[in-house]
C-alpha cells in the first residue's frame, strides 16, 4: 500500500526544542513480542511520509520483523491527537488497552510500545496558557503511561521493559519569527515541554527517543516546513525509526 499520505499542517513553537544528553538506559534490548503498539499523534500516524508504509512506526515494525517475522503492528495513532484527547473515553488509550488485553488473551506478549505525544499540546498552548498547557501535558502523559503499565501487568509485563516515548522537535528554527507567528499563532511561547516528557518517562523507567536533538539544525531538510507543513519528510521518518532501533537496543541481522 503506497498511497499519498500527507495532510494539512500542524505547527509548533520554536521554544519546545531543548537540548539534553540522551539518558542512560539498561543495555538489555526492549522486549520484542508478538504485538507492537504504535501510539500517539500525526507523526506516529506517518503523516508527511510519501506512502502509508513509510511512516516511522511502520518502518520500525518492518525492520523488527527481521527478528520476529510474525510481529503484528497495532497502529492506533491519530493525527491531531493531544495528551487530553488520547485520554478521552472511547479514545486511543482505551483502544490500546483493549489491544493489550486481546494480546494477553491470545497468549501473546506486547513489545515494543512506541509513543509520540505532546506536539499538539504545544501547538494549542495559548488557548489555556503556557503554564497550564505544560502542567496538563505532564499530568496526562503520566496518566497515559500508568494506564499502559497497568494494562500490561496481567500478561506479566511492565511498561519499562517495552516502551519508548519521543521528544518534540522544532520545525521553525530556521524561519523568521513573523513566519512562525503566521503559521502557528497559538503555539507555546516558552520551553519546558521536552523536560516534562523526560521527567515523566524517567519516573516510569521508559526510554526516550530524542527526536528533538536528531532534528536540531536540520528542520529544513527533515520536515516539510518550507511548504507550510511541520511534519517529517520521508527522510525524517526514516531517522525516527532508526533512533527507535538504537534506543531499543535491538541488533538486526
- The closest of 40, 142, 163, 150 to 104, measured between CA atoms, is 150
Distance CA 184, CA 134 (A): 17
Sole residue written with cell 531538510: 221
- The count of residues in the chain is 253
* Domains defined along the chain, listed by start: 14-248 (3.40.50.1110)
pLDDT at 248: 98
Average pLDDT of 199-212? 98
Cell of 244: 527507535
pLDDT at 224: 95
For residue 49, pLDDT beyond 50: yes
Are 130 and 157 contacting, i.e. CB atoms less than 8 angstroms apart?
no
Average pLDDT, whole number, for the chain? 90
Distance CA 112, CA 35 (A): 8
Distance CA 46, CA 50 (A): 9
Distance CA 216, CA 182 (A): 22
pLDDT at 190: 82
Distance CA 149, CA 221 (A): 36
For residue 173, pLDDT beyond 90: no
Per DSSP, the three-state class of 49 is coil
For residue 22, pLDDT beyond 70: no
pLDDT-above-90 percentage for the chain: 78
Name the band, by pLDDT with cuts 50, 70 and 90, for residue 26.
low
Q: pTM of the prediction? A: 0.89
pLDDT-above-70 percentage for the chain: 90
Q: In terms of pLDDT, which residue wins out, 27 or 146?
A: 146
For residue 38, pLDDT beyond 80: yes
Are 127 and 52 contacting, i.e. CB atoms less than 8 angstroms apart?
no
Query: For the segment 50-101, what is each residue's pLDDT rounded down to a tens digit?
Result: 998 899 999 999 999 999 999 999 999 999 999 999 999 999 999 999 999 9
Name the band, by pLDDT with cuts 50, 70 and 90, for residue 172.
confident
Average pLDDT of 90-116? 98
Measured in degrees and rounded to the nearest 5, phi and psi for residue 165 equal: -125, 145
Distance CA 117, CA 120 (A): 8
Amino acid at each position: 500500500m503506497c498511497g499519498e499520505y500527507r495532510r494539512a499542517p500542524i505547527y509548533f513553537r520554536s521554544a519546545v526544542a531543548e537540548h539534553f544528553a540522551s539518558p542512560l538506559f539498561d543495555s538489555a534490548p526492549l522486549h520484542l513480542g508478538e504485538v507492537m503498539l504504535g501510539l500517539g499523534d500525526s507523526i506516529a500516524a506517518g503523516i508527511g511520509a510519501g506512502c502509508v508504509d513509510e511512516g516511522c512506526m511502520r518502518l520500525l515494525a518492518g525492520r523488527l520483523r527481521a527478528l520476529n517475522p510474525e510481529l503484528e503492528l497495532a497502529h492506533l495513532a491519530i493525527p491531531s491527537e493531544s495528551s487530553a484527547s488520547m485520554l478521552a473515553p472511547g479514545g486511543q488509550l482505551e483502544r490500546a488497552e483493549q489491544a493489550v488485553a486481546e494480546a494477553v488473551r491470545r497468549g501473546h506478549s506486547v513489545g515494543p510500545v512506541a509513543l509520540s505525544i505532546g506536539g499538539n499540546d504545544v501547538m494549542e498552548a495559548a488557548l489555556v496558557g503556557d503554564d497550564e498547557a505544560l502542567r496538563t501535558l505532564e499530568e496526562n502523559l503520566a496518566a497515559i503511561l500508568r494506564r499502559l503499565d497497568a494494562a500490561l501487568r496481567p500478561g506479566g509485563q511492565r511498561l519499562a521493559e517495552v516502551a519508548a516515548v519521543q521528544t518534540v522537535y522544532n520545525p521553525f528554527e530556521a524561519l523568521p519569527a513573523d513566519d512562525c507567528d503566521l503559521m502557528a499563532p497559538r503555539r507555546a511561547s516558552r520551553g519546558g515541554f521536552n523536560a516534562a516528557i523526560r521527567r515523566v518517562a524517567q519516573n516510569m523507567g521508559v526510554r526516550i527517543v530524542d527526536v528533538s536533538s536528531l532534528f536540531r539544525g536540520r528542520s529544513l531538510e527533515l520536515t516539510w516546513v518550507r511548504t507550510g507543513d511541520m511534519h517529517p519528510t520521508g527522510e525524517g521518518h526514516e531517522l525516527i525509526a532508526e533512533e527507535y532501533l538504537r534506543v531499543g537496543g535491538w541488533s538486526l541481522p
